[in-house]
Amino acid sequence: MSPDNIFEGANESGGTEEKDGERKLGYGAAVVETMAQIMREDESVFIAGEDVGAHGGVFGYYRGLQPEFGEDRVVDTPIAEQAIIGLGIGAAVQGLRPVVDLMFMDFICVAMDQIVNQAAKLKYMFGGGAKLPLTITTAGGGGLSAAAQHSQSLEAMLCHVPGLKVVMPSDAYEVKGLLTACIREDNPTVFIINKRKLGDACHVPEELFEIPLGKGHIVREGSDATVVAIGRMVEEATKAAETLSDEGIDCELINPRTVQPLDIDLIVESVSKTGHLVIVHEAVRFGGIGAEIAAQIQEKAFDYLDAPIERVAAPFSPVPFSPVLEKKYIPDAERISAGIKNLF
């Protein structure tokens, strides 16, 4: 199956629909809608990347933009990740607001110099002179049998680099609010689109709005355990929290929305209330963002903890191909529930 076929469904269900008077929009469609609205209001925004133009992106989340905005602003580039990021950096320094797409998050590795040594550091090395309003969009996460080079969650690598902001929307509402914030932001941001979420719809306002970067969101209030879930794991953690609620464990679910900057204060506040912390992410456990959160919590809220911090994450292996293995690899509601129960 080509990525196209995989996401055909995503695009179909990605359109808007009115249900109970509430406007619903798919996760992938939210990218398209946001981009179109921003490009209409701000001429300095353009998109460049592999197959983003005529094809609308291999996941379809740029579909329809080139017909409206033309080839000059929705630019098909060669398969050249370093040059794509370089294109964005050079244009951003010139005052434009580029959105450059890296197709699969795994491909950031090909462009690591331009991201880590150039985009992230130029402003600092230049003594503050440069603004770098660059948004890098890329599709991360597994669950599609795309195997080890097309399924990774590499956000922790990026979070380690001062100068970058790393954004992980968990639903279509956040896609719109966070992408708008990223594009209007004067710093390089990496906007990680979860490819398994593309077809999921939820309520999304029609007008552009911003969700501030660095502010987490309490998805569900609770008193017994704090669950921090990242990206698509918010959905799985929500299911787990509902199940456990029936069993008498009242979880408070926090979605940080951005992992760099990280809203640690929100987590500290919650842990000081619940005394328990579980961190959930798709990336491998070792050196994952959960390790950073756990370290900061023991620094800032050690006295409130009633149990060791639990991490539910992928095991230390590349993402396997076989659907059976991959299902075991990526955390799901069941594993999250088990992780939470470990604390009690």
Partner 1 sequence: MDITDEILIDLYKRMVRVRLFEEEAGRLAESARLPGFLHLYVGEEAVAAGVCAALKNEDQITSTHRGHGHLLAKGGDFNRMMAELMGKATGYCNGKGGSMHICDLDLAMLGANGIVGAGVPIAVGAAFANRLTGNGLISVSFFGDGATNIGAFHEAANMAAALSLPMLFICENNEYAEYSPRHRTMAITDVIERAAAYGFPGAIVDGMDCVAVFEAASLAIEKIRSGEGPMMLECKTYRFYDHVGVKGTASNYRTDEEVEEMKKRDPLLVHEARLIESGVMSADSLQAIKDEIQKEVDKSVEFAEESPFPEVEEMLLDVYSKREPS
- Tell me which DSSP letter residue 43 carries: T
Stretch near partner 1 under the rule CB under 8 A, chosen from 79-87, 150-158, 244-252, 306-314: 79-87
Looking at 11, 118, 170, 180, which residue binds partner 1 (CB under 8 A)? 118
Q: Which is nearer to partner 1, 73 or 311 (CB)?
A: 73
Peptide bond into 261 cis (omega under 30): yes
Task: Give, for 48, the enclosing helix (H) or strand (E).
Answer: strand 45-49
CA distance 294 to 309: 7
Looking at 33, 50, 81, 236, which residue binds partner 1 (CB under 8 A)? 81
Q: Does 41 bind partner 1 (CB under 8 A)?
A: no
How many residues at the interface with partner 1, by CB under 8 A? 46
Task: Give, for 128, the enclosing helix (H) or strand (E).
Answer: none
Q: What angle do CA 73, 189, 130 make, to 5 degrees?
A: 80
Looking at 20, 78, 247, 302, which residue binds partner 1 (CB under 8 A)? 78
Q: Does 158 bind partner 1 (CB under 8 A)?
A: no
Looking at 26, 141, 163, 331, which residue binds partner 1 (CB under 8 A)? 163
3-state secondary structure of 70: coil
Q: Which is nearer to partner 1, 165 or 276 (CB)?
A: 165
Looking at 7, 27, 46, 191, which residue binds partner 1 (CB under 8 A)? 46
Q: Does 265 bind partner 1 (CB under 8 A)?
A: no
Q: Least Å distance between CB 90 and partner 1?
A: 2
Give which of 285, 276, 244 is closest to 267, Cα–Cα. Answer: 276
The verdict on whether 150 is a catalytic residue reads yes
Please, where are the H alpha helices in the chain? 3-6, 8-12, 27-41, 65-69, 81-93, 112, 122-125, 155-159, 172-184, 233-246, 264-274, 289-300, 323-329, 333-341
Q: Does 252 bind partner 1 (CB under 8 A)?
A: no
Catalytic-labelled residue, pool 55, 150, 160, 203: 150
- Exposure on the CB side of residue 198, measured as CA atoms within 13 A: 28
Q: Least Å distance between CB 190 and partner 1?
A: 14
Q: How many helices (H) and strands (E) does the chain have?
A: 14, 15
Site string for partner 1, 83-102 (x = CB under 8 A): xxxxxxxxxxxxxx-x----
Q: Does 185 bind partner 1 (CB under 8 A)?
A: yes
Q: Least Å distance between CB 139 and partner 1?
A: 21
Residue type, 29: A
Specify the pairing of strand 97-104 against strand 45-49.
parallel
Which residues make up the interface to partner 1 (CB under 8 A)?
Answer: 46, 48, 72-73, 75, 77-78, 80-96, 98, 113-114, 117-118, 122-132, 162-163, 165, 185-187
Known catalytic residues?
Answer: 150
